[in-house]
Amino acid sequence: MTELQWRRQWKPDLSSCPWKPLPINKIDEETGGCFLVKSKFYNDAYEVLITDMVHFWYEKLSGAALKRRVTELNPSIEAPISKILDQIRYSLESPGNGMQLTISNSDDEAVLEIESHLAGMPFLYSFKAGSAPETMARDHLTVPLMAMVGELYRQQQELFKLLEGKDRQIDDYKAQGARVSRKFLATATFDEVAFQNSMITSKGFEEEVKACGEKAFTSCGQELYREIATKRAWLLSSPIKVEKVNESKSAPSLESWGHRLPPSIANKNQSPSKSVESPQKSSGSGASSADSTPVKDTELLRRQALERKLEQEETKLQEKSKKKKKLKL
């Protein structure tokens, strides 16, 4: 199976969902102010993972247990469970006016309460997340962040190469007598060392350090996280693909994120966490979750562009394979 075919059949799970800052309205005095949350909603269930950068809390709830909690908190509200989940998801991901998020936590449990309105009536829901397995901290935050840093560094180096190429192009124009029409348009030759020094000594660098990475999961960061998680899922889904990657790069095995961690971080005695099976979505229900939104439209366009790129790469590989066969004959 090619990567393009796999992407069309693959069903994203919690691991591919990006982290988002949690806008808390009320926080206990002993609770820090920085929280991240990631969630995955299904037709009649959800998974949620919360962290304060020190502790991780996880909850998965479905079926009768989910209905019972909704009924206990909202005895006067009767609605399909898919509608209830849509309301919870919207309140968690896009809290607005009239909504309030409150969190209280200990080492073993975090309770996140959401107050909003459903059909004009007050609606309350509480996530009651227990301590997450240690492997979830590694698989969902530590190693993906390391991969994001590595990828951003690679992209930075590619941009530096482009700038150097542009400088050579400009020098060629100047050698032929070309001049800029306006003086302020002229630029100095790019110097990587000078650029790095100016960034480190800039006011923006100090502000980022003070913010402690709060902007790491803005829209661009979320998109990069999603792409890294998707690529990893593809690599792990195909043993043959993993072997090829290992042979070409002489890298450690890709069987788990833990194998990419330094010995000082990874716990050799821990076994990789088992993936949580996602409940199957039945056809004809939960239609409200599939409504078109600008975010979903953007995601669709992004996926279509990615599919076209993968198709082009696959065609090139097939052409190279045919040429090799002809040469052998």
Q: What is the pLDDT of residue 329?
A: 55
Task: Return the half-sphere exposure (C-beta side, CA atoms, 13 A cut-off) of residue 138.
Answer: 19
Quick check: 68 and 59 in contact, CB under 8 A? no
Radius of gyration of the chain (CA): 25
**Distance of alpha carbon 105 from alpha carbon 108, whole angstroms:** 8
Domains in the chain with CATH codes = 9-132 (2.170.210.10), 136-260 (no CATH)
Q: What is the pLDDT of residue 55?
A: 93
Q: What is the pLDDT of residue 46?
A: 96
Residues of the chain with pLDDT under 50: 29, 31, 242-243, 245, 248, 250-261, 265-266, 268-291
Element at 249 (helix H, strand E): helix 239-249
**Distance of alpha carbon 108 from alpha carbon 184, whole angstroms:** 60
**Distance of alpha carbon 325 from alpha carbon 329, whole angstroms:** 6
pLDDT tens digits for 235-251?
Answer: 988 655 544 545 545 44
Q: What is the pLDDT of residue 163?
A: 96
Q: Which residues contact 87 (CB under 8 A, 6 or more apart)?
A: 116, 118, 123, 125
pTM of structure: 0.70
Q: Is 278 left (phi over 0), alpha (psi -120 to 50) or beta?
A: beta
Checking DSSP bridges between strand 20-21 and strand 45-51, what pairing results, if any? unpaired
Q: What is the pLDDT of residue 294?
A: 57
- Identity (one letter) of the amino acid at 198? S
